[in-house]
Structure 1
Amino acid sequence: MKKTLLIVLVVLVLTGCNNSSNLADDSANSSTQPLEQNANNEAGSTSKNNSSALEESSPTTSGFNGITPEDFKQIYNELATTYNLNDQIINNFSLTIGDNLDSFKYSFSDNLHIIGTTNKDGTIKEVSTLGDGDLTNETGENILASVGLIIMATNYGYSSDDIQDTLKDLGLFESSTDMNNFRQATVRNGIKYKLAIKDGMTMFSATEAQ
């Protein structure tokens, strides 16, 4: 996939600009609102109708701010719904208890998963999306959608422009980038984002910066 095509795909996925689905949604439900109406006002208006997990999250919040997997699921699903990414809705995480850290997982399909770890107090330590394939194949769009939602869920209030800036910080759009063998990291607002592509697998993770 050429870099310019990848950039266009990122813009389409992360702004929810699917014309056919938007027309269908407008006719079926006139109350659906695009997330980009006003990035500065969005977090305030949304928080009036949602739990404290949403109220406490903001673009300037450092780290995960003590959110649990259930808090993350609520934020992620709200964003997925707003962006008409209905195939990205998380139902229920499966939980695994460990000696030092616990883990959680949800599989959207056989090829795409959300995985993460929590501290013993139940707060998230790390959350990742794991895709079977790189960004150049058929699953690339779904992987990019999940990447964008994780960025927005961990920096609540981010717009699609902020997401593109984050991916640019990772070097994803550089001409020298090898889309089949890639590993980079960047830190934004106390969150360390890491993207790795190798052997036909893509992993994007968010963890508190040390």
Structure 2
Amino acid sequence: MTDPKDTLHLYLREAREAVLWKVQGLSERDLRWPHTPTGTNLLGLVKHLAGIEFDYFGETFGRPRPVDLPWMAEDAEDNADMWATEEESAESIIELYRQACAHADETITALDLEAPGHVPWWGNGDVTLQRILVHVLAETSRHAGHADIVREQIDGAAGLRVGATNLPGGGEQWWADYVAKLRRVAEAAG
């Protein structure tokens, strides 16, 4: 790949796929369960990323989102985009993310990297498509990492994607020995 826009878009699509892999095959409860003191949960990460895709690739470039997202309103409660309400099914949130990505892909395809946009919530928010691509790629990758750790806590599934985890092929005992070694080193360090 030699075109910078194609390269950035490819990496964004791969980060999106990683996020979607982390939610496959889990129950509604597992998808919603908070795994950190700040409530990080898989479905909330997907919901948050849907809003990011819609707003950064939509509103920023004069392409309003085709759906209403009440959790993105000025008067929404804090962190409303980081968890799914009882009325919001996992299926609906995942489909919303797919819709947001498709909406974003239309913007990315239609515009040049130097196309101007404006992010109103950034103060002096004059930007280019290139800056937004880099920003959303970084944000998606960051949350894909969160999702990877949360999923590993749920059922042990870890890594980049099905069939290409980028993890050593050691079995259960290898991993137990590895973790024990890390604990010994940490204890020795003090």
Does the pair score TM above 0.5?
no
* Structure having the higher Rg: 2
Point out the structure with the larger helix share.
Answer: 2
Report the TM-score range of the alignment, normalised by the length of the smaller protein.
under 0.3
Structure of greater relative contact order (alpha carbons < 8 Å, 6+ residues apart): 2
Point out the structure with the larger strand share.
Answer: 1
Tell me the TM-score normalised to structure 2 length.
Answer: 0.25
